[in-house]
Structure 1
Amino acid sequence: MDVRLVLCLLWALLATAHARPSSCYQSIPGASNAVRSCSSGADSCIAVQEVNTLGGVVNTGVLQLCTSSLISLEGDLDFEFGGGVYVRVHSKMCRETNCNTGEIKERSKISTVPNGGQCPSCFAPGSHRCLHNVTLHCQGAASQCVDVAGTLSEMGIDLKIPFAARGCATKDVAKIKAGDILLSGVFTYQITAIQLRPATRLETMDGF
């Protein structure tokens, strides 16, 4: 292969690897939507969708902005805490200018088919500890048991509410570490402790 062609290909690969957007679409709850220039520390655009039932009602929201891939998480970060309480966050990053401008499509319906796993479950707002546990049968892609604690707050509001929870979660939740701040379309979650392990499999016997 011609040396000049090889050098051109290498340059293109390096340029792609270090590409960063000059601006991203910004949509933040409580603020006006617009295209914003990215700071030197931002190497990606991100779009985050959240649906949760914290507080006993369905809350939905979308967050779009410039971000750093070093501090932002991507994937399906889903938690099921039992009793109808859940937090489902879907996030996607891209590295082209204004690449998060497209219409945010409604997320596919979450599978409610039991996957054979079970976990202890609880949700304790206002506390750092779960005092009671109920067995939760995991569904769909939520094949892990999670034990998480931290605080949640609304963007632009200083009040932070402590919480502790246990339940079933998707494998992408393993990306979350203690000390992480998870920005989403509804709340900001500051994680102080998190543990993840495979869900306990239900024992089955033929003929019973």
Structure 2
Amino acid sequence: MQTILGSFLFLVLLRTGTSLECEVCNGMGNSCTGSMMTCEPGLDTCAIILTENSLAGERIQTVMKQCYYSNACNSLTTDMNLGQGRYVRTIVSCCEGDACRTTSPQISSAMQPNGKQCPACYSLSASGCDIVTADCDGEENYCLDMVQKVTYGKFVVNVSMKGCVTENVCAAKEGQTSSSGIDTNIMKVSCTPAPVAA
């Protein structure tokens, strides 16, 4: 009996000693390096999150590596088309072990129009922005209307966004979130199915 109990305790200790570790970092471009971190319970895989945006008038890529939920690994690429060449695209690539050091996700620039349109704009003002019509691409099947307040230290920016988005963007809820020292308070968010262009 004591041998069985000892073996059980050894297996428990062995299991708790093999917690998942992921490289954690962020930076510009599509790769970064950082230290290894033990993941919290529930975060059962490592992920590389690549974001590309053209909101400032030029294409900028940023990357984050972190612990992640495996059930979110197969989600579609997140696309926000805000008209006049302004967009935000994010892709999540899940990995484990050495694959996280060699995986280099890429965001496809080849987008195909899907025949739908949405009102679109982007402005650093909560009072609204000049609306144009955006032609939706790929899986962008919804029209977004969002106002958020972003706080970074002493800097506070109000952001208005309208445009074509993928369904997963519509999961955003009103309220406040914090990440890497940036507080984002979504003041208003709504999604409606994108109509077919007339």
Q: Does 1:193 align with 2:198?
A: no
| CA distance in structure 1 between the aligned counterparts of 2:74 and 2:130, rounded to whole angstroms | 30
Q: CA deviation at 1:146?
A: 0.8
Judging changes above 3 Å, is the alpha-carbon distance between structure 1 residues 103 and 152 closer, same or farther for their aligned structure 2 residues? farther
The SS at the match of 1:177 is: coil
1:148-187 aligned at under 5 Å gives the runs 148-152=146-150, 159-179=155-175, 181=177
Larger helix fraction of residues: 2
| CA distance in structure 1 between the aligned counterparts of 2:45 and 2:188, rounded to whole angstroms | 27
Q: CA deviation at 1:86?
A: 0.8
| CA distance in structure 1 between the aligned counterparts of 2:35 and 2:189, rounded to whole angstroms | 35
Taking structure 1 as the reference length, what is the TM-score of the superposition?
0.68
Structure 1 stretch displaced more, 28-37 or 50-59: 28-37
Judging changes above 3 Å, is the alpha-carbon distance between structure 1 residues 74 and 141 closer, same or farther for their aligned structure 2 residues? closer
What's 1:17 paired with?
Answer: none
Structure 1 stretch displaced more, 59-68 or 27-36: 27-36
| CA distance in structure 1 between the aligned counterparts of 2:101 and 2:75, rounded to whole angstroms | 17
Q: CA deviation at 1:74?
A: 4.5
Higher relative contact order structure (alpha carbons within 8 Å, sequence separation ≥ 6): 1
Judging changes above 3 Å, is the alpha-carbon distance between structure 1 residues 51 and 92 closer, same or farther for their aligned structure 2 residues? same
The SS at the match of 2:82 is: strand
Contact kept, 8 Å, 1:25 with 1:98, in 2: the verdict is no
CA-based RMSD of the aligned residues comes to 3.5
Q: CA deviation at 1:188?
A: 7.7
Deviations for 1:42-69, whole angstroms, at most 9, x for unmatched residues? 4442221000012212110110112467
| CA distance in structure 1 between the aligned counterparts of 2:48 and 2:178, rounded to whole angstroms | 13
Contact kept, 8 Å, 2:48 with 2:105, in 1: the verdict is no
Unaligned runs of 5+ in 2: 1-17
What's 1:55 paired with?
Answer: 56
| CA distance in structure 1 between the aligned counterparts of 2:21 and 2:92, rounded to whole angstroms | 18
Identity percentage over the alignment? 25
What is the one-letter code of the residue matched to 1:123? Y
What is the one-letter code of the residue matched to 1:172? N
1:147 to 142, 145, 149: 145
Contact kept, 8 Å, 2:21 with 2:36, in 1: the verdict is yes
The SS at the match of 2:109 is: coil
Contact kept, 8 Å, 1:119 with 1:168, in 2: the verdict is yes
Give the paired residue count.
177
Judging changes above 3 Å, is the alpha-carbon distance between structure 1 residues 74 and 110 closer, same or farther for their aligned structure 2 residues? same
What's 1:123 paired with?
Answer: 122
Q: CA deviation at 1:140?
A: 2.3
| CA distance in structure 1 between the aligned counterparts of 2:80 and 2:114, rounded to whole angstroms | 15
Unaligned runs of 5+ in 1: 1-19, 204-208
1:57-96 aligned at under 5 Å gives the runs 57-67=58-68, 74-93=75-94
Judging changes above 3 Å, is the alpha-carbon distance between structure 1 residues 131 and 174 closer, same or farther for their aligned structure 2 residues? closer
What's 2:13 paired with?
Answer: none
